[in-house]
Chain A
Amino acid sequence: MTDAARSDSSWRRALASGAVRAGGGLLLALATLALFAPWLGTVDPTLFDTASANLRPGALGTVLTPDGGSAPHLFILGSDAYGRDLYSRVLYGARVSLAVGLFAALLALAAGTLIGIAAGTLRRADGALMRVMDGLMALPAILVAIALVALWRASLGAVIVAIAIPEIPRVARLARSLALALREELFVDAARALGTPAWRIMQRHILPNMLAPLLVQGSYVCASAILVEAILSFLGVGLPPEIPTWGNIMAEARLHFSEAPYNLFFPGAFLAATVLAVNLLGDGLRDALDPRALERR
């Protein structure tokens, strides 16, 4: 059995994997669109002109500018019932979706890892912490998120936190099991015998060895967070309707489905592509970073 590269070159193997490349590339393209939206032929996504309502994709129309004038505009993906530019709205909506996915994943990872490590290393805290996590896991994620958003004022931050909280238990369980296994490793015993303080063993030996599986878990949290945000918006309990999110766009498009079906189609397609990209990336990372992957091939 070849005992080839495990640590540093497993990242190189990740970059060589098709799934990681496809998912990563798609995600990068979406992030570029979101980030550079103002320079990609968009207008303010809240501008409207009822004269240009429900235009087909590629139609020419007008938008009313804030100073009261009217300007000609090419509606690449068409317009909605208020005459707003769908292309601009979908691109700006990508900002919300990606931000929610990224920050909800980071938040869930950070909190979950912290709780998991605490449960895995502090014997006394273990039982209590994990029972709380079990309890949280028993509640449906969407309901918890709806309840939390309803409790606070609906802002981007509130939505992110509300989506992240139900994801924490899964991350915490994974982190705890990783910490429990790593704590028993001989190299951790060796480090203790070498006089390495407990906090530094955590930072030097335990956290780095937890990173890969946590990252993979993080990608799944990210995909799920993007979906949950869209669902919340669609149900009208997410961000306020004046902020363009894919869920909000689809919620409004539902009422005018027969006249302007592409208003439902385009944000839906973007949503599906984003979630697919994140999941591809996660699957690719899992296969490449799993130490057993070498033996399996």
Chain B
Amino acid sequence: MSASPVLELKGLSVALPAGADRAHALDGVSLSVMRGETLCLAGESGSGKSALALAVMGLLPRGLRISAGQVLLEGEDLARATEARLRELRARRMAMIFQEPMSALNPVLSCGAQLDEVLAVHTRLSAPERRRRVDEMLGEVGLADAPRMLAAYPHQLSGGQRQRVMIAMALLLEPALLIADEPTTALDTTTQAQILALLGSLKARHGMAVVFITHDLGVVADVADRVAVLRRGELVEAGARDELLRAPRHEYTRALVASLPRLEPRAAQSDAAASPLLAAERVSKTYAGGGWFGRRREVTALQDVSLELRRGETLGIVGESGSGKSTLARCLLRLTDATQGAIRYAGEDIGALSGTALRALRKKMQIVFQDPYRSLDPRRRVGDSIIEGPLNYGAPRAAALERARRLLALVRMNPDALGRYPHQFSGGERQRICIARALALEPEVLIADEAVSALDVSVQAQVLELLDELRERLALALVFITHDLRAAARLCDRVAVMSHGRVVEYGGAREVLLTPQHAATRELLAAVPGRAYQFWQPGTSPRNDSPGRG
């Protein structure tokens, strides 16, 4: 292993255009990555992680420029390299993979054509030689059925397969440096675990240096040799993985580590003997498509789902994407009608309700969606959104606005927000507004559909805490839908695990998460990033040599 680093940043600064919220996207960052080493860049949105990756690749968007410092790739300063040289280096010596492989691949070319193009442009290999190299690479990234993969277009592949194709493409020319920008964030946890393992083995085999960008400290624990924490463009702390995750020195790093929920379910707080408030009885939902000129086809989204929810408890619904979690939420709210089975609210079948009775039901159940950017009408003021529910039920405007003020205070926001538009708020703030809107009707059931998944870890921790506090104060029954078992463990009294439209395991959070019975549950648990890793916990001494649980 050579002693000189593959990538070295010396006092790298990237200037933002005038009028941005700060002067620099990156401010004097110095880092280095050796051969065969993975450096994790951790940080929240706006920390400058991606700007760093793009600066190294010479792909900074217009308006951003390197204002000071050096980017040394195998000793060559990229900050002063010509565009032609950068293009050459990007293919041969450094490569990048992105969060969303669908947008990084060309949708109108087959994967084979795109892989072949890399070799055709940058090497003098003949067509059969290129084909052999591509086949070899596909085998390495675990895409066994090479002919089918080569003929497939990106949309015909699953997210995991697409990311594997991206990795194959990045590694075709044996680069010395691989930059991975949140490569698993858009994937399911089990797929994420496979991709992380794949990257690890490829790194070991090819001895490249990897810069791995992620917001998820669990992932950091799984893949990093060393870690650098960025905040608002500045390097907060850097060091070996165990040093940084088990004995963080900087205040911010500690806060980040502490905001990662532990995978330790809490004891159930609900009274198992109480009668259920909301119950699903053998609910099934099939979607029928086609008609007119197309052929009819049916998709089963839910099959024989039975669940119960009691007052004051949190029921977690966990599973991979496509397992039917959101469909179940929509059925529970009767935003969609179930095809079979019954959903009972306080004993009454809500499928039979209509008109006034349905309106009365709507008042009692509310939902907070995953995407805070799409769940508020961009053309309506926050205040108008919050009072929409109460106005629907005949509340006077002034009283509703007064209540909206108190609700904003309850979700810890400034009541001045009432007169502003959604675009003026961050994702976390918008999610709080959505929670306030849901609470405005004083519901008895609140359904949170991946409500914290799109948020930064520290904001996520705050919103989780807020939800738990509100559940307790307002005696809400909370349905918490998530793919994140850590968040589920933090919040839920009982957990239902869904797989392919069925509930495969259902019980107290402790039983389900500590002694899983079903294979799907075990698989989910095994895929939780950083599961076996012991992180620093508040209360322990950062200098402690054997950091354990506080």
Interface status of B377 (Cβ within 8 A of chain A): yes
Interface status of A193 (Cβ within 8 A of chain B): yes
Tell me the bound Cα distance from A276 to B423 in angstroms: 34
Task: Give A194's nearest chain B residue, CB to CB.
Answer: B389
Contact bitstring B416-451, A, C-beta under 8 A = 1, else 0: 000001011000000000100100010000000000
Contact bitstring A180-207, B, C-beta under 8 A = 1, else 0: 0000011101111111110010001100
Contact bitstring A1-19, B, C-beta under 8 A = 1, else 0: 0111111100000000000
Interface status of B393 (Cβ within 8 A of chain A): yes
Interface-central residue, A187, A200, A209, by most chain B CB under 10 Å? A187
Cross-chain contact of A208 among B375, B379, B392 (Cβ < 8 A): B379
Contact bitstring A157-182, B, C-beta under 8 A = 1, else 0: 00000000000000000000000000
Instruction: Find out whether the CB atom of A204 lies under 8 angstroms from the CB atom of B362.
Output: no
- List A contacts of B437 (CB < 8 A): 190, 194
Task: Give B449's nearest chain A residue, CB to CB.
Answer: A186
Instruction: Find out whether the CB atom of B378 lies under 8 angstroms from the CB atom of A6.
Output: yes
- List B contacts of A5 (CB < 8 A): 421, 423
- List A contacts of B392 (CB < 8 A): 194-197, 200
Tell me the bound Cα distance from A189 to B330 in angstroms: 9
Interface status of B365 (Cβ within 8 A of chain A): yes
Instruction: Find out whether the CB atom of B423 lies under 8 angstroms from the CB atom of A3.
Output: yes
Instruction: Find out whether the CB atom of B367 lies under 8 angstroms from the CB atom of A190.
Output: yes
Give the shortest distance, in Å, between A2 (CB) and chain B (any CB).
Answer: 7
Give the shortest distance, in Å, between A61 (CB) and chain B (any CB).
Answer: 57
Task: Give A205's nearest chain B residue, CB to CB.
Answer: B377
Interface status of A38 (Cβ within 8 A of chain B): no
Interface status of B243 (Cβ within 8 A of chain A): no
- List B contacts of A204 (CB < 8 A): 377, 380, 388
Instruction: Find out whether the CB atom of A2 lies under 8 angstroms from the CB atom of B434.
Output: no
Tell me the bound Cα distance from A194 to B385 in angstroms: 10
Interface status of A127 (Cβ within 8 A of chain B): yes
How many residues on chain B are close to A (CB under 8 Å)? 31
Contact bitstring B366-406, A, C-beta under 8 A = 1, else 0: 11010100111111100001001100110000000000000
Interface status of B132 (Cβ within 8 A of chain A): no
Tell me the bound Cα distance from A193 to B445 in angstroms: 12
Cross-chain contact of B378 among A2, A197, A209 (Cβ < 8 A): A209
Give the shortest distance, in Å, between B51 (CB) and chain A (any CB).
Answer: 12
Given A193-B365, A194-B392, A196-B392, A7-B333 contact (CB < 8 Å): no
Given A7-B379, A209-B377, A195-B423 contact (CB < 8 Å): no
Instruction: Find out whether the CB atom of B377 lies under 8 angstroms from the CB atom of A189.
Output: no
Task: Give A196's nearest chain B residue, CB to CB.
Answer: B392
Instruction: Find out whether the CB atom of A186 lies under 8 angstroms from the CB atom of B369.
Output: yes
Instruction: Find out whether the CB atom of B421 lies under 8 angstroms from the CB atom of A193.
Output: no
Instruction: Find out whether the CB atom of A196 lies under 8 angstroms from the CB atom of B365.
Output: no
Contact bitstring A45-68, B, C-beta under 8 A = 1, else 0: 000000000000000000000000
- List B contacts of A190 (CB < 8 A): 367, 369, 375-376, 434, 437
Instruction: Find out whether the CB atom of A194 lies under 8 angstroms from the CB atom of B388.
Output: yes
Interface status of B486 (Cβ within 8 A of chain A): no
- List B contacts of A187 (CB < 8 A): 374-377, 385
Instruction: Find out whether the CB atom of A189 lies under 8 angstroms from the CB atom of B369.
Output: yes
Tell me the bound Cα distance from A83 to B46 in angstroms: 74
- List B contacts of A186 (CB < 8 A): 369, 371, 374-375
Given A2-B20, A127-B292, A195-B362, A7-B423 contact (CB < 8 Å): yes
Instruction: Find out whether the CB atom of A209 lies under 8 angstroms from the CB atom of B379.
Output: yes
Give the shortest distance, in Å, between B85 (CB) and chain A (any CB).
Answer: 29
Tell me the bound Cα distance from A195 to B394 in angstroms: 11
- List A contacts of B421 (CB < 8 A): 5-8
Tell me the bound Cα distance from A124 to B56 in angstroms: 55
Give the shortest distance, in Å, between A103 (CB) and chain B (any CB).
Answer: 27
Give the shortest distance, in Å, between B317 (CB) and chain A (any CB).
Answer: 17
Contact bitstring B325-365, A, C-beta under 8 A = 1, else 0: 00000100101000000000000000000000001001101
- List B contacts of A192 (CB < 8 A): 335, 362
- List B contacts of A200 (CB < 8 A): 392
Instruction: Find out whether the CB atom of A195 lies under 8 angstroms from the CB atom of B371.
Output: no
Interface-central residue, A3, A8, A197, by most chain B CB under 10 Å? A3
- List A contacts of B385 (CB < 8 A): 187
Task: Give B63's nearest chain A residue, CB to CB.
Answer: A297
Tell me the bound Cα distance from A86 to B9 in angstroms: 75
Tell me the bound Cα distance from A291 to B363 in angstroms: 33
Contact bitstring A80-103, B, C-beta under 8 A = 1, else 0: 000000000000000000000000
- List A contacts of B371 (CB < 8 A): 186
Interface-central residue, A6, A194, A196, by most chain B CB under 10 Å? A194
Task: Give A190's nearest chain B residue, CB to CB.
Answer: B375
Task: Give B333's nearest chain A residue, CB to CB.
Answer: A193
Interface-central residue, B362, B366, B423, by most chain A CB under 10 Å? B423
Contact bitstring A283-294, B, C-beta under 8 A = 1, else 0: 000000001000
Cross-chain contact of A191 among B20, B388, B423 (Cβ < 8 A): B388
Tell me the bound Cα distance from A187 to B369 in angstroms: 9
Cross-chain contact of A196 among B335, B379, B388 (Cβ < 8 A): B388
Tell me the bound Cα distance from A4 to B376 in angstroms: 16
Tell me the bound Cα distance from A204 to B374 in angstroms: 16
Cross-chain contact of B393 among A3, A6, A127, A195 (Cβ < 8 A): A195
Interface residues of B in 42-101 (CB under 8 A from A): none
Give the shortest distance, in Å, between A11 (CB) and chain B (any CB).
Answer: 11
Tell me the bound Cα distance from A179 to B330 in angstroms: 21
Tell me the bound Cα distance from A208 to B365 in angstroms: 27
- List B contacts of A291 (CB < 8 A): 378
Tell me the bound Cα distance from A6 to B379 in angstroms: 8
Interface residues of B in 277-312 (CB under 8 A from A): 292
Tell me the bound Cα distance from A194 to B391 in angstroms: 10
Interface-central residue, B377, B423, B434, by most chain A CB under 10 Å? B377
Tell me the bound Cα distance from A178 to B178 in angstroms: 42
Given A6-B423, A7-B421, A187-B375, A194-B441 contact (CB < 8 Å): yes
Tell me the bound Cα distance from A187 to B434 in angstroms: 10
Give the shortest distance, in Å, between B61 (CB) and chain A (any CB).
Answer: 10
Give the shortest distance, in Å, between B17 (CB) and chain A (any CB).
Answer: 10
Instruction: Find out whether the CB atom of B335 lies under 8 angstroms from the CB atom of A193.
Output: yes
Can you give 8 A-B contacts (C-beta < 8 A)? Answer: A6-B423, A191-B388, A193-B333, A193-B366, A193-B367, A195-B389, A195-B441, A200-B392
Residues of A whose CB lies within 8 Å of any CB of B are 2-8, 127, 185-187, 189-197, 200, 204-205, 208-209, 291
Known pairs A192-B362, A193-B333, A204-B388 / 5 extra A-B pairs, C-beta < 8 Å = A190-B375, A190-B434, A193-B335, A194-B362, A205-B380
Residues of B whose CB lies within 8 Å of any CB of A are 20, 292, 330, 333, 335, 359, 362-363, 365-367, 369, 371, 374-380, 385, 388-389, 392-393, 421, 423-424, 434, 437, 441
